[in-house]
Every structure is written in C-alpha cells, then in structure tokens.
Amino acid sequence: MAAPRLLVSRRIRATPYTQRVEALGVSGYSVVNHTILPKGFQKTVEEDYWHLKKHVQLWDVGCQRQVELRGADAARLAQLMTARDLRNARVGQCLYAPMIDADAKMLNDPIILKLAGDHYWFSIADADMLLWAQGLALGMGLDLAIDEPDVWPLAVQGPKSDDLVARVFGEQVRDIGFFRFKVFDFEGQELVVARTGFSRQGGFEMYPEGFSLGTKLWDALWQAGADLEVSPGCPNLIERVEGGLLSYGNEMTRADNPLECGLEQYCQLDGSVEYIGLEALRKIAASGAERLIRGVVFEGDACPACQHPWPLTAGKRQVGYVTTAIWSPRIEANVALAMLDRGYWQAGTVVTVEVADGSQSRAVICELPMEAS
C-alpha cells in the first residue's frame, strides 16, 4: 500500500522553494501556518545532523509567515501583543518575543523585526496571529495597517554559512550581529538578511519579498555553495533537542505560560509596560511556576517518534511528560524535552519515562542545552 500523500493547494500553500527541494529529494512535509515545511531528505536524521554541524544547508522555511504592523499605532500594538519590553528596540534588531493571551497563556513565540519606527514584522510560529492582531486593532480603534506580506523566508544554517552568504551579498554580511539584520540589494530589490535561525550552528534567515525573488535567491545560494558541500535541509530534531530549542505546538501550547517555558527573561513583569496578560502573568510570577521545561536523557534502544506526550513518573506518581524525543549519536542515548512538575525539574533527578511502544526506561533530568557526559 502506498504511503498517503499531502495534497497541496492554495489552502495548503507551496513556497518558492518547493520545486527545488522536491528535485533534491525531499522525503516528507509538515504543515505550518497553512504552508508546507520540508521535514526530511534522503539522508537519515543522523546523517543530516552531522552535515549540519560541519557544513551548510539551505532550509525552506517559507511557512514562517510575517504579520506586518505599519502605521501610527504600530509600536503600540506591537507592545500590546508581547510580554517583552520593546521600548528600547532599535531599527535593525530582531527580538524573540512571547505572545500571550489575557490569562498569560502562550499564543506564539515569534521573532519581531523592527524595520522602522512605525513598521514591524512578527515572524510567527504555527498560529493565526494575523487574525489576533486585526481583532485587537479593530476593537481598540487603532490607526495602522495589518497584513501578511508576500515574504518567503529562507534559512542558511551551519558553520559555513558566513562563507556562503558572503559570496552572494558581499563581505559585509559577516558584520551582522547576532539577532540583528541588514538590508541588501538583490536583483534590484531590497532584501532583509538576519543573523537568526532555528539551530545552534549559526547562520542567517533571509526575507525575499515576492515568489519569484525567493526562487532566484535559492538558486544564487545553491550555485555559490557547490564547493562548500551545500545541502538542502530542515530543522534537525536531534540538534533541536540537544540545543533546547523549543517548538510552539510541541513544547509549548496554549496550555502553558511563558514562565513554565523558561522564558522569564523575555517578560517584563514590573508593570512599566502595558501588554495583554500582564496582570495574569504577574500573579503567576508571584507564586512561582508550577512546572518547567527541562532536558531528559534516557536509556534503551533508539526510541520511536513522540507523537503524543509520554508520561514521566516517580514511583506511582506522574511528575511530567515528554514532548519530543530522539536518539542522539553524540550523547549516545535517547534525548528529550519535557515539562516537569516543581520538585522534579532539578538536574540529576531520576524518573521513569513510559515510551509509546510500551517500554519503560530510567531517565535523568538535565539542563539545556545538553552536554555529552
């Protein structure tokens, strides 16, 4: 029996890079923001992991849609939508910014790009934040335009990223600071290049405006990287778990608040800025988080995919759950991200993980990012 196929239409969108990744052997997709996201290629996850840590990859992350705020009240709405203090944000800066609702529950965790004093992009994870922004602006009578621009992010990740991107945009890309961006000319159009990305191997995310410009950008980078062992890639699950990179919809959902997700440093709690969910979040902070996300290392053969949370138990009590798990060839054990109850999240705590295949394994809680023992 043939494997089921994902049928792509205007409702589930392709990207400017879809034809390129399919020609290069993409083996599977997920759907994020109504847009397909490549999830694997002909290499195994382990082969892809080692390649990412040594060379350079192009990632089709066109699913990373932008919510654009532009106009007189853009700065006000941007601040209302995030617990992060944006008062000192500068043009050219990227800011990781938890978005919460009135009960302080996580709605999204975008990167905000400040393009001008009255112009912001929220580069979002998988949730319809465009509708949230439009509803807030309408209900509050704010003066700004809100849109999803025709922008198709493309990531370049890996230790050879600077060398590759410099071949296309010039040596000045090496001067872009971490979580900063600059605007370059490409094919006669302005193109934002940011030093960000969903890996700990270093790299860039680029924001071409227009479908055809995105395809030209892929081709230029691919051709320039032939001798750098450039490869198509995607967020690597092993590298993500080891690095403690959280995925909205997996590690955190609307059931969680940012303090439980370890994001307190991105939350202004002193009342000096106004945002939705402030009072609820301050109450949580006053009593302390009841749960925290931590790393887990556990024994046994390579574990199956974690499609549903796996219980973590201490004795007969459930004390947490695993959200994402995979075998790590570097640590030589299964590694996972998990939400742990208070009293069980300290590094070195021993618990039991109940894997989906019915097996149970001894597990040890660890800090993030993970280090080999």
Q: What is the mean pLDDT of the segment spanning 348-355?
A: 97
Q: What is the pLDDT of residues 286-338, one digit of tens each?
A: 999 999 999 999 999 999 999 999 999 999 999 999 999 999 999 999 999 99
Given pLDDT bands bounded at 50, 70 and 90, which one contains residue 357?
confident
User: From CA 102, how far away is CA 109, in angstroms rounded?
Assistant: 16
Q: What is the pLDDT of residues 4-38, one digit of tens each?
A: 778 888 899 999 999 999 999 999 999 999 999 99
Q: Where are the beta strands (DSSP E) in 33-180?
A: 35-40, 56-60, 66-70, 94-96, 99-100, 106-108, 111-116, 119-123, 145-147, 154-157
**Every domain of the chain and the residues it spans:** 18-64+151-240, 291-373
Is residue 69 helix, strand or coil?
strand
Q: What is the pLDDT of residues 205-264, one digit of tens each?
A: 999 999 999 999 999 999 999 999 999 999 999 999 999 999 999 999 999 999 999 999
Is residue 191 helix, strand or coil?
strand
Q: Domain 291-373 carries which CATH code?
A: 2.40.30.110
Q: Domain 18-64+151-240 carries which CATH code?
A: 3.30.1360.120
Q: Provide φ and ψ at 68, rounded to 5°.
A: -100, 125
Given pLDDT bands bounded at 50, 70 and 90, which one contains residue 373?
very low
This prediction's pTM: 0.96
User: From CA 21, how far away is CA 17, in angstroms rounded?
Assistant: 6
Cα Rg of the chain, angstroms:
21
Tell me the C-alpha to C-alpha distance, in Å, between residue 208 and each of 31, 102, 189, 328: 21, 34, 9, 34
Peptide bond before residue 208 is cis, with ω within 30 degrees of 0? no
User: From CA 157, how far away is CA 195, in angstroms rounded?
Assistant: 10
User: From CA 181, how far away is CA 120, in angstroms rounded?
Assistant: 13
Q: What is the pLDDT of residue 1?
A: 60
